[in-house]
Amino acid sequence: MALYLIGDVQGCDAPLGRLLEKIDFSPSRDTLYVLGDLVNRGPQSGAVLRRLMGYGDSARCLLGNHDLSLLAVAHGRRAPHRNDTMDKVLLAPDRGELIEWLRQRRMAIRAHGLLMVHGGVLPQWDAAQTLQLAAEVEDVLRGPGLVDFLNEMYGNQPAQWDDALKGADRLRVIVNALTRLRFCTPGGEMDLKASGGPADAPPGYLPWFDVPGRRSADTTIAFGHWSTLGLLQRPDIISLDTGCVWGGCLSALRLVAPQAYELIQVECEQAQAPGE
């Protein structure tokens, strides 16, 4: 049995297929942990969803910001962006099945000594609180309040966590941290506009994982989302978005022992300008 982490696929099914062939993936034997942004900007979002659905519990997928965007567009709560490539999902005969499967995915997973998210973890949160807060969003996504939530999901405020937050403000901060976070202040105020590398941090801001004293520092966190950061492995973090949709690589890490990984990559055909 092999365990793999896979970075942002973003609708690039052909590279995903080559990667799975390269690692000799078998859903009867192995498990994939896909770190969000399954869809959008690439040409085959529907094929990616169908492939991962077909693997059942052998593909454990997180929701990223692009996946949530697909849910919002599908429910008429957001207009498609001019660079979106989700039409084939929205017009597909099995659209309902694809959207229903997507809304059942996780916002955070803890397994094999790792905490997995798509974006980041605010410095005030330890691993247990991160999972608890992720579960609050998961419950809404799976429940009858989905459409109301999607109406309120977008926005950059509040920019900072407070345990007293309630309702839409509370859920919005959780979603923004888990799916969009790159930079924050030592006090946890998020900047959700900057998308460059760590050297491009706005004044007063740091990469979220470099904030001194963050409460999750004792847990290795695996995440995607940040293609301009690329592959980064430290004892406390694993960054695995290597920019497949932007003409980079699609990457997998095989867990060979605690804190020991084998990197497997395939080249990708897409060549767009990096962005959200």
Task: Render each residue's pLDDT in the chain as its tens digit; 276 residues.
Answer: 899 999 999 999 999 999 999 999 999 999 999 999 999 999 999 999 999 999 999 999 999 999 999 999 999 999 998 889 999 999 999 999 999 999 999 999 999 999 999 999 999 999 999 999 999 999 999 999 999 999 999 999 999 999 999 999 999 999 999 999 999 999 999 999 999 999 999 999 999 999 999 999 999 999 999 999 999 999 999 999 999 999 999 999 999 988 889 999 999 976 554 444
Residues 6+ apart with CB under 8 A from 230: 239, 241, 242, 243, 248
DSSP, residue by residue, 231-254: -EE-SSEEE----GGGTSEEEEEE
Give the SS3 label for residue 130.
helix
pTM, two decimal places: 0.96
The tokens describing 2, both together, are: 């092999």
**SS3 per-residue string spanning 34-73:** ECCCCCCCCCCHHHHHHHHHHCHHHEEEECCHHHHHHHHH
d(CA 45, CA 87): 9
What are the Cα distances from residue 274, in Å, to 54, 70, 192, 224, 270? 30, 19, 16, 14, 11
Q: Are strands 206-207 and 249-257 parallel, antiparallel or unpaired?
A: unpaired
pLDDT at 273: 43
pLDDT at position 258 is 81
Distances (CA, A) of 233 to 21, 220, 230, 259, 261: 24, 10, 10, 10, 9
Q: What does each C-alpha distance from 85 to 44, 135, 227 come to in angstroms?
A: 8, 29, 19
Tokens 């973090």 locate to 237
Domains parsed from the chain with CATH numbers: 3-267 (3.60.21.10)
pLDDT, position 270: 62
Q: Residues with Cβ < 8 Å from 123, sequence gap 6 or more?
A: 184, 186, 187, 188, 208, 211, 213, 214, 215, 216
Distance of alpha carbon 187 from its chain centroid, rounded? Answer: 23
Q: Tell how strand 114-116 and strand 220-223 pair up.
A: parallel
User: How far is the C-alpha of 90 from the C-alpha of 92, rounded, in Å?
Assistant: 6
